[in-house]
Chain A
């Protein structure tokens, strides 16, 4: 039974208007293994899994589940075949309890709910796989890691034996990720097939048994974990060798650009989002902010860019008090912002590239009077597109037609074009391929070297350690500590991210 083939996808091809997302892809997953699906964003991993879960229909190709050919008409058919997927964005109902969420959509339950029995089953599953959840807790009360466990329990409850996880570690701390890997291993050991979608090579080496690499919609290779290494995987993913460019860190005299004094702010729910933040960002440095998503990063960036009002404290820019000023003043003072939600906040999807560049230009010196002057902005857009190698059909077509990487390049180009004093970059490389990631990172470094301050929010500790001059860790809206990248370790940061400050009790300022 150890080598029974659970999933076999042969010659899968899927076209969307304008792109071929999957081209002749083959995948084979065995019972009892953790199979990683590795590839850059846009390599076709999600499309392939959406086909496997019945969300999309392949144009060509055949799927076999446990040896039988299948033809899924809807996700319901896939679920019936024992396939369960844990999406990156959880599909949970906040006000309901864990148990209620687990039975949601399960077809086996009768009209009357036998709560005691359901709870008991959940507890059994929890115990067997080390997934600690309280069936009676409400979803909104749970942390992201706990919610993920509920998603897994939900799928196990349905009796799925083929589990797919989409970028499961994106929202987890290093410790939580390790726990997750242990759980996944237990599931594989019990004869289930586990598929993990990821673009992190280290993760593949940490937990997978085998890995299938996708590149530009094609399956490139399937390898045994033990017979490969990071370099080979990277090369397969990108198609060429990657230059590791470690930039030197230049020491600067600390001249503060922005200073936050005793800041408190509320989050969107009206609860304390930031508590007693004291922070200074200097010219010519990158300040990295580590933390699990949702611990005040968004609130911090919005305070610094003037988008969120504060309930206590002062904001100083170049020594001048900006407390209570509208966002417009922050922009005029040279605060640039690369937001997390690029297409929702940083760019307007239905407007053209020119109109989107205009977004940060229409109030500057070049635009006097009531009327808009498009000519200079057009020219600037053309220059940006060329300099940053942005691929688009026309600078007059809506930006929603552009790919994620090109959107981010255009956004960054615009934010840098204003000669900012400070750039607040939130997850700047999320979803970008390796090439684009490298160019975004070197742009941020170039800005730092030119004397701008950079606030870098990232979920990737490697990136933070690599780029930052100083690192702070946010936990529940508080700064847990400041570290230097020279002597900070991932473990130390990981502990701070979970709010544990064991080995430096006395030093917290």
Chain B
């Protein structure tokens, strides 16, 4: 038997859909092995995970709540990925956005809501943007690898936020917990009915629409697409690559900054230690699974939000929530592996008669 790969002329549409679906199934399957090894019944665990996230109204709304930061940060990293800028610093950019928004809320408590919220939004975007721009400048002008610098800046941002909540911004009435005082009501994002779904959802949807139009229909979006596909061709066409690297990283960071702002303003109502359970990292997986497309990003964010919610639920069964992280990793693993199927045909021939030497001599 012989197995060979043949490149497809065009990527297979069937595989584009099938690969992610099969990847999720395979990830669940491998996850089940570990659950069995731990003495759990995987069917019970998965039923619990899925039903708690997607069958109750509380689960559904919570899944959306978790999807908001994933989507905002995911949009940010997907923009950077389009230009082959491996921004894995969304987590830090998110924290910086949260810090800046908190600064506004704590420094100007007297502002009315209509000024307070846009101001927090602006500063959240701005701080995230700066955090994105910081590694972009050495990347653009000195070719410093942005994967390393964005990653390292995550720790700086998280520690900086920690310093503030453990030190100068600590709530004097907070029993020494690492968190800031509760924001004034004007600094809290309005939410939908009784749920925790907040205005951040609207930010995310607007951001997705704007990004979609920018990429597909504007000159700037065209430049981003060309630079991402072929920097040499972009230079040849007179595009300013350095400027665009900075601009893209700035917007990418800014979107993650908005995610941070909406987390402190819409969910926590304050800045606190461990604000994000790794949204910025999960956003990378989300962006990749969604193939950087804004619309599918919304869907994948929701599913991954649900995975997080389900993760909390299965803790009640005595199972570590880390199983969810493992599932996320497994899904990405299988999707990356499965991508070969979208671009290649796999040919399996049981016999290779025509290639065996014949009698002629």
Q: Are B238 and A17 in contact (CB under 8 A)?
A: no
Decide yes or no: A69 and B237 within 8 Å by CB, A18-B9, A351-B229, A370-B219 being known contacts: no
Q: How far is the CA of A370 from the CA of B220 in the complex (A)?
A: 8
Most A CB within 10 A of own CB, among B218, B221, B230: B230
Q: Does B235 contact A327, Cβ atoms closer than 8 Å? A: yes
Would you give the 0/1 interface string for B219-237, flagging 1 where the beta carbon is closer than 8 Å to chain A?
1111001100110110111
Contact, CB under 8 Å: A339 / B357: no
Chain B contacts for A326, CB-based, 8 A:
238, 240
Chain A residue with Cβ nearest B225: A351
Chain A contacts of B107 at CB under 8 A?
A: none
Interface hit among A54-62, A111-119, A165-173, A278-286: A54-62
Does A362 interact with chain B (Cβ within 8 Å)? yes
A111-140 residues at the B interface, CB under 8 angstroms: none
Indicate if B44 sits at the interface (CB-CB under 8 A).
Answer: no
How many positions in chain B have a CB within 8 Å of any CB in the partner chain? 31
Instruction: State whether B229 touches A62 (Cβ < 8 A).
Output: no
A104 contacts partner chain B, Cβ-Cβ < 8 Å: no
Of A70, A329, A359, the residue contacting B226 (CB under 8 A) is: A359
B354 touches A69 (CB 8 A): no
Within 8 A of A (CB), among B347-361: 354-358, 360-361
What A residues does B240 contact at CB under 8 A?
Answer: 326, 328
Question: CB within 8 Å of A: which of B329-361?
Answer: 345, 354-358, 360-361
Nearest CB of chain B from residue A20's CB, rounded to whole Å: 15
Instruction: Return chain A residues, CB-CB under 8 Å to B237.
Output: 327, 331, 359-360, 362
B275 to chain A, nearest CB (A): 36
Scan B306-321; emit 1 where CB is below 8 A from any A CB, else 0: 0000000000000000
Chain A residue nearest to B6 (CB atoms) is A17
Q: A18-B9, A362-B219 are in contact. Are A327 and B229 (CB under 8 A)?
A: no
The interface residues of chain A lying within 8 Å CB-to-CB of B217 are: 371-372
How far is A370 from B219 in the complex, measured between Cα atoms in Å?
6
Q: Is the CB of B238 within 8 A of A345?
A: no
Tell me, rounded to whole Å, the shortest Cβ–Cβ distance linking A375 to chain B: 13
Kindly state the separation between the CA atoms of A328 and B235 in the bound complex, as whole angstroms.
Answer: 9
A69 to B356, CA, bound (A): 9
B360 & A345 in contact (Cβ 8 Å cutoff): no
By the criterion CB–CB under 8 Å, are A372 and B222 in contact? yes
Q: How far is the CA of A76 from the CA of B358 in the complex (A)?
A: 21
Would you call B7 an interface residue if the criterion is a C-beta within 8 Å of the partner chain's C-beta atoms?
A: yes
Among the interface residues B221, B226, B240, B358, which one has the most CB atoms of the partner chain A within 10 A? B226
Complex CA gap A351/B317 in Å reads 50
For B232, the chain A residues whose CB sits under 8 A away are 341, 344-345
Interface digits, A313-357 against B, CB 8 Å rule (1 contact, 0 not)? Answer: 000000000000011111110000101010011111111000100
- The answer, yes or no, to whether A222 is at the interface (CB within 8 Å) is no
Which residues does chain B contribute within 8 Å of A17, judged by CB atoms?
6-9, 345
A240–B357 Cα distance when bound, in Å, is 38
Assess A337 versus B360: contact at CB under 8 Å? Given A17-B7, A349-B230, A401-B9: no
Residue B10 lies at the interface, judged by CB distance under 8 Å to chain A: yes
Contact of A307 among B7, B219, B220, B235 (CB under 8 A): B235
Contacts known (A17-B7, A71-B355, A326-B240); A363 close to B219, Cβ less than 8 A = yes
The one of B218, B220, B354 in contact with A59, judged by C-beta atoms closer than 8 angstroms, is B354
CB distance from B228 to the nearest CB of A (A): 9
- Knowing A17-B6, A69-B360, A307-B235, the reply to whether A372 touches B218 (Cβ < 8 A) is yes
CB-contacts of A44-68 with B (<8 A): 57-60, 62, 64, 67-68
- Evaluate contact between B355 and A58: CB separation under 8 angstroms: yes
Majority SS of interface residues in chain B?
mixed
Asked if A358 and B230 make an inter-chain contact with CB atoms under 8 angstroms apart, the answer reads no
Q: Which residues of B contact A71 (CB under 8 A)?
A: 355-357
Partner of A370, one of B218, B226, B229, B235: B218
Complex interface: chain A residues within 8 A of B229 (CB):
348-351
| Residue numbers in A under 8 Å from B218 (CB-CB) | 370-372
**Which one, B9, B233, B361, contacts A347 given CB within 8 A?**
B233
Q: Which residues of A contact B360 (CB under 8 A)?
A: 10, 62, 69
Cα distance A307–B236 in the bound complex, in angstroms: 7
Distance to closest chain B CB from A12 (angstroms): 11
A 74-105 to B, binary, CB cutoff 8 A, 1 in contact else 0: 00000000000000000000000000000000
With A17-B9, A358-B222 in contact, do A348 and B230 touch (Cβ < 8 Å)?
Answer: yes
Cα A372 to Cα B225 in complex, Å, equals: 13
The residue in chain A whose Cβ has the minimal distance to the Cβ of B345 is A17
Q: Which residues of B contact A442 (CB under 8 A)?
A: none
Q: CA–CA, A337 to B237, complex, Å?
A: 10
Q: How far is the CA of A360 from the CA of B238 in the complex (A)?
A: 9
- B358 neighbours in A (Cβ, 8 Å): 62, 69
Q: Given the known A-B contacts A68-B361, A362-B219, are A397 and B10 also in contact in the complex, defined by CB atoms under 8 Å?
A: yes
CB-CB under 8 A from B220, the residues of chain A are: 370
- Complex CA gap A265/B273 in Å reads 54
**A328-B9 contact given A348-B229, A367-B219, CB 8 Å threshold:** no
Instruction: Name the interface residues of B205-225: CB closer than 8 Å to any CB of A.
Output: 217-222, 225
Give Cα distance in the complex from A69 to B355, angstroms: 11
Least distance between B94 CB and chain A CB atoms (Å): 29
Q: Which residue of chain B has its CB nearest to the CB of A361? A: B237
Min CB distance B134 to A, Å, is 25
Name the distance in Å between A47's Cβ and chain B's nearest Cβ. Answer: 15
Residues of A within 8 A of B345 (CB): 17
Q: How far apart sit A332 and B236, CA to CA, in the bound complex (Å)?
A: 13
- How far, in Å, is A226 (CB) from chain B's closest CB? 31
CA distance A62 to B237 in the complex (A): 49
Chain A residues with Cβ below 8 Å from B6 are: 17
The proximity string for B residues 156-183 relative to A, scoring 1 for CB distances below 8 Å and 0 otherwise, is 0000000000000000000000000000
Across the interface, do A372 and B354 meet the contact criterion of CB distance under 8 Å? no
Cα A59 to Cα B230 in complex, Å, equals: 35
> Which residue of A is nearest B230, CB measured?
A348
- Which residue of A has the minimal Cβ distance to B356? A71
Q: Is the CB of A327 within 8 A of B222?
A: no
Residues of B within 8 A of A18 (CB): 9
Q: Which residues of chain A have C-beta atoms less than 8 A from B9's C-beta?
A: 17-18, 401
**B222 lies within 8 A of A362 (CB):** yes
List the B residue with the shortest CB-CB distance to A367: B219
In the assembled complex, which residues on chain A have CB atoms less than 8 Å from the CB atom of B7? 17
Measured in the bound complex, the distance between the Cα atoms of B258 and A260 in whole Å is: 51
Separation of A169 and B230 alpha carbons in the complex (Å): 31
Contacts of A345 in B (CB 8 A): 230, 232-233, 235-236
Given known A-B contacts A17-B7, A351-B225, A358-B222, A331 and B355 have beta carbons under 8 A apart:
no
Give A67 to B361 CA distance when docked, in angstroms: 7
CB neighbours of A370 from chain B (8 A)? 218-220
Q: Given A345-B232, A348-B233, A349-B230, are A371 and B357 neighbors across the interface (CB < 8 Å)? A: no
In the assembled complex, 9 residue pairs joining A and B whose CB atoms fall closer than 8 Å, in A order, are A69-B361, A345-B235, A348-B226, A351-B229, A362-B219, A362-B237, A371-B218, A372-B217, A372-B222
Give residues in A with beta carbon < 8 Å to B.
10, 17-18, 57-60, 62, 64, 67-71, 305, 307, 326-332, 337, 339, 341, 344-351, 355, 358-360, 362-363, 367, 370-372, 397-398, 401
Closest 9 CB pairs of A and B: A328-B238, A69-B357, A327-B238, A345-B232, A359-B237, A331-B238, A348-B230, A348-B229, A348-B233
Further 16 A-B residue pairs, CB within 8 A, beyond A345-B232, A372-B221, A398-B10:
A326-B240, A329-B238, A330-B238, A332-B238, A345-B235, A345-B236, A346-B236, A348-B226, A349-B229, A349-B230, A359-B233, A359-B237, A362-B222, A363-B219, A371-B217, A372-B217
